[in-house]
Amino acid sequence: MTRIATVLLILAGLGGAPLTREPAAAPPPQCEAPASAQPFIPALADSGRIYRGALRADGREFWYFRKVSDDPRQEDYRIYVTTRAASGWSEPRRVDLGGEFSDLYPAISADGRRLVFASYRRAPGDTSATPNASLWYAERNGDGWGPARYIAPASEPGHYHSQVTVAANEDIYFRRTTPDWSRTVELLAPVAGDGYGAARPVDDAARFTGSVPGHYVWGARPGHDGSYMLLEVSATDSAGRRGPADLWFSSGNGAGLWTEPQPLGAGVNTAGAETFPAVSADGCRLIFTRDFSGFHHVSLAAAMAVPRD
């Protein structure tokens, strides 16, 4: 089993303020996303090979990564992009970031000029026998991309960096897992000059670990405006074995209080695995991966409009 499948979205608990029942955030206006989960760009489906994807802010590009090796033990991924035109979405094309490296978790800036990603390429000064996935970025250069640049202040040598996203203010969110795969934390690296500063823990994210009895919380990530958290949650059996992940949410009041987590509605969750949630910049559309085989999308407001006790 690959590291992504094994260590998906683990988040270590650090405690925090109690969870409460506050109302969900107001839905964005004029959202045209479907009211129930539907396939998104079905032509991209590929059994067991499809991983996290996200829209550029203007909705004209969809970035994702997929597995290119048939060996389940091999961490070999590439980044792809498809572009939307009047006639629909283009054939996906592989993104050339310089060399044959395993690149994953693409996150594009709002203006489309910078791509942040994780990569197994060897970082400067890394002398380990097998490099782990660290953080990099590249700047758009005409129709291509400039050289990949290592994000040293936010990367920890030997650790696994994943789940990269770019916030509206260009800060980056990501997760870091220790070399022994025993602990993962949610981090934020702020923009600093032309690069990024040192990473710090994400406020409020860690408190959700252990918050759902009979379930395991793999991770939590602030939503597009910080008013809610999206969680990946698996039911556990009497032996502690974890089932397939589902997508849950919690709403906040801006003062450190959060609703009790509950599953997203609108057909998001199934008996299979729902992972890699990503929300469009306007908060309209939730995109996620189902069974690592294809993308689905749904109105975020519809998915969060579930009955409360």
CA dihedral (60, 299, 80, 145) in degrees, to 10, reads 50
Burial label, 182 (beta-carbon count in 10 A; 0-12, 13-18, 19+)? exposed
**Which pLDDT score is estimated for 125?**
84
**Which pLDDT score is estimated for 2?**
55
**Which pLDDT score is estimated for 17?**
39
**Which pLDDT score is estimated for 242?**
94
Q: Are 208 and 216 in contact (CB under 8 A)?
A: no
**Which pLDDT score is estimated for 4?**
56
Q: Is residue 309 a part of any domain in this protein?
A: no
Between the two ends of the chain, the Cα-to-Cα distance in Å is 39
Q: Is residue 91 a part of any domain in this protein?
A: yes
308 pLDDT band (50/70/90 cuts)?
A: low
Q: What is the pLDDT of residues 12-67, one digit of tens each?
A: 232 333 444 334 444 445 688 999 999 999 999 999 999 999 999 999 999 999 99
Q: Which range of residues forms the domain containing residue 22?
A: 3-304
Q: Is residue 36 a part of any domain in this protein?
A: yes
Q: Is residue 148 a part of any domain in this protein?
A: yes
Q: Is residue 107 a part of any domain in this protein?
A: yes
Structurally, the chain folds into a number of domains equal to 1
**Which pLDDT score is estimated for 10?**
32
Specify the pTM.
Answer: 0.87
**Which pLDDT score is estimated for 3?**
57
- Report the CATH number that the domain containing residue 195 is assigned in CATH: 2.120.10
130 pLDDT band (50/70/90 cuts)?
A: confident
**Which pLDDT score is estimated for 103?**
97
Highest mean pLDDT among 9-23, 107-121, 207-221, 254-268: 107-121
